[in-house]
Homo-oligomer: A and B are copies of this chain.
């Protein structure tokens, strides 16, 4: 059973919960509600308002401190390094990304690394902000450590998503279409394993390893391990176990994200996030560069569109009816949500209604 809220109703309710129950300022609450509701509207419920639970535990654990002001600790005409001082992730990210985009107005390219932040919502939202201005946008973040390096067995790296946005079409005065990739570098998000556990299903190979570092398909045993053993066993990266199907590649992409986020910001590695007595310690990396660096943006977008059209219109595998370009599913889900409302699952609705009753 799902329940439906209008986009604005859900955003308003989330703002109220964050300001009145979580102690967020109005500005912190507004951007946080926006990225959460955007995720639900786009069909990414793992990053939607269901995260209010996680945000609450971050407050209780002292990892997130609403009211903390982000600070620029290093700056050049085309870069900035931000210390989030354990504040609210989406608020810090908005503050940082806006400053980076302002720099890119002049420099045509800009970079931003952030330390001592918290969960910033869907990575794609931040990459998209650059693409909406006619630029290529990149957004990476580390997360709580849950991923295992190839041939290892300790959780050391986060799900470390890669988001990249490239404008495809400009019409009626705005960017109307874009390529928008937003992927965890681990094979799957943790929520997928939880679903297999609840349904007592065997996981596919390549998702996870146990405490010895060997692949496991037992979702229930894995879930027990994940919450009882603080260090051993965890997610595999894209490509799975070992090197045969490229697990070392996914691990390399996760590590690249780690070095760009934590390395360049002098922030905590994923293995050092959420330690008692410290803030969440999450780090981000943002970059953007203008299509104008390479010629006339309209001409470049037309060419990008033609490449993507060739792929969209190519022959489908037997039994399949559509080849997706990244970002299409989410954009279409959002259109539906704006028309018919945002669907939440029963557990999220119950959590939300309980919070609403407390207001």
Give A contacts to B, CB under 8 Å. 73-74, 76, 78-79, 81, 107-109, 111, 113, 136, 149-154, 156-157, 162, 164, 166, 179, 181, 183-184, 187-188, 204-207, 209, 212-214, 232, 238-240, 244-246, 248-250, 252-253, 255-256, 258-260, 262-266, 269, 271, 287, 289, 291-295, 299-300, 303-304, 307-308, 310-311, 314-318, 320, 322-326
Contacts and interface: CB of A to CB of B under 8 A. Distances in A.
A316 B183 contact: no
19 contacts: A74-B294, A78-B293, A81-B294, A109-B109, A136-B260, A152-B311, A153-B317, A166-B263, A181-B256, A187-B245, A188-B245, A188-B246, A206-B245, A212-B318, A246-B250, A252-B326, A259-B308, A263-B300, A264-B300
A127 to B, nearest CB: 11
A113 B295 CA distance: 11
Nearest to A148: B317
A324 B295 CA distance: 40
Given A150-B324, A238-B249, A291 B315 contact: no
A335 to B, nearest CB: 20
A156 B310 contact: yes
Given A252-B181, A271-B310, A111 B293 contact: yes
Contacts of A324: 150-151, 248
Contact of A244 (B204, B244, B259): B204
Given A81-B295, A295-B74, A303-B263, A323 B181 contact: no
A326 B251 CA distance: 9
A140 B162 CA distance: 16
B250 A238 contact: yes
Contacts of A256: 164, 166, 179, 181
A107 B286 CA distance: 18
A199 to B, nearest CB: 15
Contact of A293 (B76, B136, B156): B76
B213 A310 contact: no
B263 A154 contact: no
Contact of A314 (B149, B264, B291): B149
Given A79-B294, A166-B259, A289-B111, A213 B271 contact: no
Contacts of A310: 156, 269, 271
Contact of A307 (B113, B248, B263): B263
A166 B294 CA distance: 25
A323 to B, nearest CB: 5
B183 A246 contact: yes
- The 10 A-B residue pairs with the shortest CB-CB distance, nearest first, are A213-B317, A79-B293, A151-B320, A263-B304, A183-B249, A181-B252, A154-B314, A212-B318, A264-B294, A269-B307
A73 B181 CA distance: 29
Contacts of A252: 181, 183, 326
A151, A164, A258: most-surrounded residue (chain B CB, <10 A)? A151
A209 B316 CA distance: 12
A291 B264 contact: yes
Contacts of A78: 107-109, 293
A248 B323 CA distance: 10
Nearest to A268: B307
Given A107-B78, A294-B265, A317-B214, A322 B151 contact: yes
